[in-house]
Amino acid sequence: MSRRGMLGLSGLGLGLGLASLYGFSTSAEAQVLTSEMRAALTPQQIVDHILEGNRRFVAGTPKSRDWLAEQKGTAQGQHPAAIFLSCVDSRAPVEVVCDFGIGQAFNARVAGNAVNDDILGSMEFATAVAGAKVVMVMGHTACGAIKGAIDGARLGNLTLLLARFQNAIQETEFSGERTGSNPAFVDAVAKTHVTMSLDLIRERSPVLRDLERDGKIKIVGAMYDLESGQVALV
């Protein structure tokens, strides 16, 4: 074989190796994320991979997957790389918009991606116990929970949930109309809520704060744009 051919095969092997390292197959075969694969990744690499997966989603080129094989391959254990806190909105499924397979990420969903004691406990389990290296709070544009909080909506148990967003409403700097009918203000509050949630996580969870301090995890925020499909860090 020629030297050029050998170099070509070497490059192909490197590419396949990197694909395996990130826990994604280059074919339709399932690629289960193992503890060894996750251990080889830094928290920042996992964040980069989340954004890379979203770029594939936006481009309409998600990874081919054998969902049944992934289900069977993870039935006896899981090694997720990240835990997301996202909204219950049906248009913002994190695993889809970031192109994650079965067993690759935890996802805690609650209206308005609100932080509470149960969510914090779930994050502590996902990281300190199960080994995830990234905590990502992901809000989204046109959030109905944020809009309802701005408008003072009241409905059963939802009333208490919406009250969690009042601080974000007050802290949002905005020069336009501060009402739920103004999409720009709703999105501004949603972004403020994400950034304030990061501070709240660090304040109320010494477990997560210490893991981040020691470089074992990253705690980051992001916004998902329902119109463009893009995820951006905040």
Tens of pLDDT, residue by residue over 48-58, are: 999 999 999 99
Question: What sign does the CA torsion over 74, 80, 83, 84 have?
Answer: negative
Average pLDDT value for the chain: 90
Tell me whether residue 200 is in a domain: yes
Mean pLDDT value of segment 34-41? 96
Could you give the count of Cα atoms lying within 13 Å of 117 in the half-sphere of its Cβ? 0
Domain that holds residue 201: 42-62+79-233
Mean pLDDT value of segment 146-152? 97
Domain with residue 195: its CATH number is 3.40.1050.10
CB 20 within 8 A of CB 31: yes
Output the six-digit token pair for 108.
Answer: 């805690």
Q: Of 62 and 5, which is predicted with more confidence?
A: 62
Tell me whether residue 70 is in a domain: no
**pLDDT-based confidence at residue 30 (cuts at 50, 70, 90):** low
pLDDT confidence of residue 31: 75
Tell me whether residue 67 is in a domain: no
Residue 173, classified by CB atoms within 10 Å of its CB into exposed (0-12), middle (13-18) or buried (19+), is exposed
Condensed to tens digits (0 to 9), the pLDDT of residues 154-168 reads: 999 999 999 999 999
Mean pLDDT value of segment 98-110? 97
pLDDT confidence of residue 102: 96
Condensed to tens digits (0 to 9), the pLDDT of residues 117-141 reads: 999 999 999 999 999 999 999 999 9
Tell me whether residue 132 is in a domain: yes
Least confident of 21-25, 68-72, 187-191, 198-202: 21-25
* Number of domains forming the structure of the chain: 1
Mean pLDDT value of segment 204-213? 98
Per-residue pLDDT at 190 exceeds 60: yes
Q: Of 172 and 21, which is predicted with more confidence?
A: 172
Mean pLDDT value of segment 101-124? 97
Condensed to tens digits (0 to 9), the pLDDT of residues 49-84 reads: 999 999 999 999 999 999 999 999 999 999 999 999
Tell me whether residue 57 is in a domain: yes
Tell me whether residue 184 is in a domain: yes
pTM (2 d.p.): 0.88
DSSP notation for 70-115: HHHHTTT----SEEEEE---TT--HHHHTT--TTSEEEEE-GGG--
Tell me whether residue 10 is in a domain: no
CA 24/CA 35 separation, integer angstroms? 14
pLDDT confidence of residue 25: 44
Tell me whether residue 30 is in a domain: no
